[in-house]
């Protein structure tokens, strides 16, 4: 075997090694993405498993309505207000992550879709009343709803899945 043949064999072997390295890297990236999606799903499930969040959904069902006023919000107990804050701020954060593409909409739909569609109008009114009261208390000229951008974005952009349409 001469030097040129050995060099060609070495070059071919290094090319094959690079190809296998790239394939292994792609497999690792795929595995990492699947693992990260699982972790994100677990985080969403943990958020929904929190008793304070359960209380927030209970308050949404039993105490909130689409015409709620500031007086009715003030009449909620401290525990009910804390539960509503925890739930709505948590969902707002999830909405912000989804809005900026850091969280997939199918995961958000799977965990929160029905809740957002059921309680969305009540939460929207609560945000409207709360924001108006905050703007008034702080002497702002307009309603400051931007702190609820994620929650409002979810209510506007979360679409009903096709399987629910046929039910």
Model pLDDT for residues 90-131, shown as the tens digit of each residue: 999 999 999 999 998 999 999 999 999 999 999 999 998 888
Q: Same domain for 59 and 43? A: no
Helix residue ranges, H only, 67-148: 70-74, 78-99, 105-138
Q: Same domain for 135 and 83? A: yes
How big is the chain by its Cα radius of gyration, in Å? Answer: 25
Supply angle C-alpha 109, 160, 35, rounded to 5.
20
Q: Same domain for 4 and 56? A: no
| Comparison of pLDDT for 80 and 1, the residue scoring more | 80
Q: What per-residue confidence (pLDDT) applies to 109?
A: 93
- What mean pLDDT do residues 138-166 have? 75
Q: What does the block give as tokens for 116?
A: 């957002």
Q: Which of 34, 49, 64 is the last residue of a domain?
A: 49
Whether residue 41 is contained in a domain is answered as yes
Domain with 106, as residue range(s), is: 51-160
Contact, 130 vs 118, CB < 8 A? no
């Amino acid at each position: 075997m001469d030097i040129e043949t050995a060099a060609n064999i070495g070059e071919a072997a290094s090319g094959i090694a690079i190809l296998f390295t790239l394939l292994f890297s792609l497999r690792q990236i795929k595995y990492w993405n699947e693992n990260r999606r699982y972790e994100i799903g677990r985080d969403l499930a943990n958020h929904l498993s929190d008793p304070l969040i359960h209380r927030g959904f209970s308050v949404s069902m039993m105490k909130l309505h689409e015409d709620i006023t500031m007086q009715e919000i003030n009449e909620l107990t401290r525990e009910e207000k804390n539960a509503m804050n925890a739930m709505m701020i948590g969902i707002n954060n999830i909405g912000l992550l989804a809005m900026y593409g850091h969280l997939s909409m199918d995961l958000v739909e799977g965990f929160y879709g029905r809740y957002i569609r059921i309680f969305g109008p009540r939460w929207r009114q609560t945000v409207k009343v709360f924001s108006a009261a905050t703007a008034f208390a702080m002497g702002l000229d307009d309603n400051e709803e931007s702190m609820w951008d994620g929650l409002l974005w979810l209510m506007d952009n979360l679409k009903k899945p096709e399987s629910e349409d046929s039910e």
